[in-house]
A = this chain, B = another copy of it.
Amino acid sequence: MSVRPAAAPSARERLLTAANELFYDEGVHTVGIDRVIERAGVAKASLYNTFGSKDELVRAYLEQRHALILQRIARYLQRYDAPRDRLLGVFEAQGEVFAEPGYRGCAFASASAESPGDAVSQATDSYRAAVRALLTGLAREAGAPNPEQLGRQLHLLYDGASLSARMDRDPSASAASRAAAETLLDAALAAA
């Protein structure tokens, strides 16, 4: 909202930063309100004035992650021109994320398992629809005869890779998913 040049971040921004770190690292359910406001250096009343409830703070946390993830992928795909490379680049971008030291799996999958509720469900549905649209669009650009079908299969790989990277503590899941995506893409193009 504000156009502050480099001033102190607002209470809202500090809360979102703290929530993002704590919720992702330790889990939405494990981390209490007190931990968040302590790290943000903010009064409890400010949190409830700004967000209304913990559920809504969680929603804002997920919406922020949604935006950051898609930005990151878009930035990564800029380095490629060929549609085929751009499609496979999604899985390479995932590999970068997996390799980061604090990777703990898909924030949406974790949050929806930890604390089901309307706010989390809505944020999750929105994120998943965006990923699906991205993959379907890339499949279309790559010339797949049935982009919806290929997009869905790629989404399965995308989900499976994030789950596997977390549960097996193995970032190389992205290499396997990239290879599988390549196979699926080639098969789809061959059938055209």
Contacts A105-B113, A113-B105; A176 near B153 (Cβ below 8 A): yes
Say if the beta carbon of A144 comes within 8 Å of chain B.
Answer: no
Q: Contact between B168 and A164 (Cβ–Cβ < 8 Å)?
A: no
Please state the number of chain copies in the assembly: 2
Taking CB atoms, residues of chain B closer than 8 Å to A158 are 160
Q: Is A77 an interface residue (CB 8 A)?
A: no
Q: Among B105, B155, B187, point to the contact of A160 (Cβ < 8 A).
A: B155
Interchain CA distance A107-B158 in the complex, whole Å: 20
Chain B residues with CB below 8 A from A157, complex form: 156-157, 160, 180
Q: Is the CB of A124 within 8 A of B187?
A: no
Return chain B residues, CB-CB under 8 Å to A29: 29, 114
| Alpha-carbon distance between A158 and B167 when the two chains are bound, in angstroms | 13
A128 engages B187 (CB within 8 Å): no
> Is A53 engaged at the interface, CB distance under 8 Å to the other chain?
no
- When C-beta atoms are compared, the residue in chain B nearest to A173 turns out to be B156
Complex Cα spacing A184 to B153, Å: 11
Q: Provide 20 A-B residue pairs closer than 8 Å at the C-beta atoms, listed in order of the A residue.
A: A27-B113, A27-B116, A108-B167, A109-B163, A112-B166, A114-B114, A128-B167, A128-B168, A153-B177, A156-B157, A156-B160, A156-B161, A156-B164, A156-B176, A156-B180, A157-B160, A158-B160, A159-B160, A160-B163, A186-B187
